[in-house]
Amino acid sequence: MRSKVAKRIQKETPEEVRVFVRQYTDIIVRINELLQQKGYSQKELAARMNKRPSEINKWLKGNHNFTLKTIAKLEAELGASIIDVRKAS
């Protein structure tokens, strides 16, 4: 069960913050899945992308706000989609 404090914090958290956290988490999980599938370490990904390992670490620790350009670069390097945007029919 959640404490009263946790319930209050959740109630007071704006919906856009909840959406952001959920989406960011989904992106990080997907990137880690792809790294594992490819057998890449964070250090190897950094070298392939001409980035410092510390920058990749920031991305995967939640200390970075991804741009679409960064996500596109990651998708190109990892050879798979990270974000799936459904088109209206």
Q: Is 41 helix (H, G, I), strand (E, B) or coil?
A: coil
User: Dihedral sign, CA of 36, 38, 41, 43?
Assistant: negative
pLDDT at 10: 79
pLDDT at 54: 93
How confident is the model over 8-61, as pLDDT tens digits? 887 888 999 889 889 999 999 999 999 999 999 999 999 999 999 999 999 899
pLDDT at 86: 83
Q: Which one has a higher pLDDT value, 80 or 4?
A: 80
CA distance 62 to 48: 21
CA distance 51 to 21: 25
pLDDT at 1: 53
Q: Is residue 27 part of a domain?
A: yes
Which structural domain, as residue segments, surrounds residue 58?
13-78
- Residue 46: which H helix or E strand, with range? helix 42-48
Domain CATH for 42: 1.10.260.40
DSSP letter at 49 equals T
Q: Is residue 31 part of a domain?
A: yes
